[in-house]
Structure 1
Amino acid sequence: MDTKPKAFLFDLNGTMINDMVFHNHAWHDILTKDLGANISFEAVKKEMYGKNQDLLERVFGVGHFAQEQVDQISIEKERRYQSAYKKHLELIAGLGAFLDKAKSSNILMAIGSAAIPFNINFVLDNLDIRSYFKAIVSAEDVVNSKPDPETFTKGAQILGVSARECIVFEDAPKGVEAARNAGMKCIALTTMHTKEEFDSYDNIIAFIEDYNDPILEKLF
């Protein structure tokens, strides 16, 4: 970047914590055993972006479930995910120190996630990191989920910064696409996807496996 960023916007799942395989298992279990869908584990992985309702609509079609059913399925899926993942809950390597450095450098931080507050609170409160973030944008705060830019543009608006002053941290191609649609540069984590899966996006300034990567020093 030509100028130092004023804000970091973080996706949550797969970006701050390496939990996406637990979501994958929970969704696959719900979709196949509870709801009778004929879908593979790998196919579920490709559908895990946006809101829970969006995923259900992609698999079963719009209007297949009443809203009350969608809400019940969604919360049951998150209960199963949290039960399986809680004993493994930890920040991706290096992120704790990275958050401290960003805070001491007066870089504003926000979370922009398609997760529901139930899951965001599970992470922030169990890891005691809520104080780092001046804005939290969840699935309930937007009309259109990723790859629509609303999640990130709303986060930047709350922080009072422009798109060009933001760096987005994402692990999913659709999240990177949302950042691009918002006019934001992105750092992609390869926790669940290979570099090749991001080939169509021109807004990625770096790929990292975790937050110990020395390339992150260039952000400060």
Structure 2
Amino acid sequence: MKKGFIFDLDGVITDTAKYHYLAWKDLASSIGIEIDLVFNEQLKGISRMDSLERILVHGGKEQAFTLAEKEALAHQKNTHYVELLQALTPADLLPGVKAFLDEARKNAIPCAIASASKNAPFILDKLEVTDYFNVIVDPATLKKGKPDPEIFLKAAELLGISAKEAIGFEDAQAGLDGIKAANMFAVGVFSGEELHGADLLVERLDELDVLDLIRR
């Protein structure tokens, strides 16, 4: 029996990828680098600083900024991103998410958020679903980002369950690889990116039956 659910945020609970893209595109343009939606796929599921590094490499400017300047650039991007997030409402939950979370709550299954986003608490508040989650892993407490399994193992630890007792939900390959590296059952949520290695693939969470899922 499985005893807990661990969710990525972007692409699983809500879709903030468009806001990330707009903020990164604006930031990149300000330093003379152009990115498009195809390149943006590389930024899904990874940390803010790792995303910035990939953009700088893409533009041939990986040596052009000091660490302090890179941190300032990342802060600039995040400020713009948070401004864009002000428009979020519960209507921005992905289809089927609320119904699935209601079923998990009904069956007393604890849930965690394992997202690289430092804005996860703010986003969950805007979506009005914070109370559904027992745990929100703080990415600032981690040493490694996805695809390393650390964030998923931390989520299971905070839920008080073993990795084998958890089910992870991801829409990005880096996150899915992290779930499998943590030795967890993996549900891939298809959002346009081809996914490999998932134990189950769905397009929306309410395709799943909670009780059938925890018996796996």
Q: TM-score range by the shorter chain?
A: 0.7 to 0.9
Q: Which consecutive unaligned segments of at least 5 residues does structure 2 have?
A: none
Kindly, what percent of the aligned residue pairs are identical?
31
Counterpart in 2 of 1:8? Answer: 5
Question: Would you say how many aligned residue pairs link Structure 1 and Structure 2?
Answer: 208
Letter in 2 for 1:27: W
Q: Does 1:148 align with 2:178?
A: no
Runs (4+) off by over 4 Å: 61-64, 214-217
Letter in 2 for 1:40: D
Q: 1:49 to 1:216 in 2, by over 3 A?
A: same
Q: After superposition, give the CA deviation of every residue in 1:95-136 in whole Å (9 maximum; x if it has no partner).
A: 1121121122121111101111xx212212112222222211
Q: Does 1:23 align with 2:16?
A: no
Letter in 1 for 2:144: N
Letter in 1 for 2:168: V
Select which of 60, 76, 90 maps to 2:56. Answer: 60
Q: 1:105 to 1:216 in 2, by over 3 A?
A: closer
Counterpart in 2 of 1:207? Answer: 201
Could you tell me whether the CA contact under 8 Å between 1:9 and 1:155 is conserved in 2?
yes
Q: 1:160 to 1:52 in 2, by over 3 A?
A: same
Q: Does 1:99 align with 2:101?
A: yes
Q: Distance between the aligned counterparts of 1:127 and 1:41, measured in 2?
A: 25
Could you tell me whether the CA contact under 8 Å between 2:112 and 2:136 is conserved in 1?
yes
Could you tell me whether the CA contact under 8 Å between 1:57 and 1:64 is conserved in 2?
no
Q: Does 1:120 align with 2:120?
A: yes
Letter in 2 for 1:7: G
The correspondence of residues 71-86 of structure 1 with structure 2, limited to 5 A, is: 71-86=71-86
Q: Which consecutive unaligned segments of at least 5 residues does structure 1 have?
A: none
Q: Does 1:70 align with 2:67?
A: no
Could you tell me whether the CA contact under 8 Å between 1:50 and 1:146 is conserved in 2?
yes
Could you tell me whether the CA contact under 8 Å between 1:25 and 1:41 is conserved in 2?
no
| Offset, 1:215 | 5.1
TM-score, structure 2 as length reference: 0.86
Q: After superposition, give the CA deviation of every residue in 1:50-74 in whole Å (9 maximum; x if it has no partner).
A: 2111122233256654343333322
Q: 1:138 to 1:66 in 2, by over 3 A?
A: farther
Letter in 2 for 1:57: E
Instruction: Compute the RMSD of aligned alpha carbons.
Output: 2.1
Counterpart in 2 of 1:108? Answer: 110
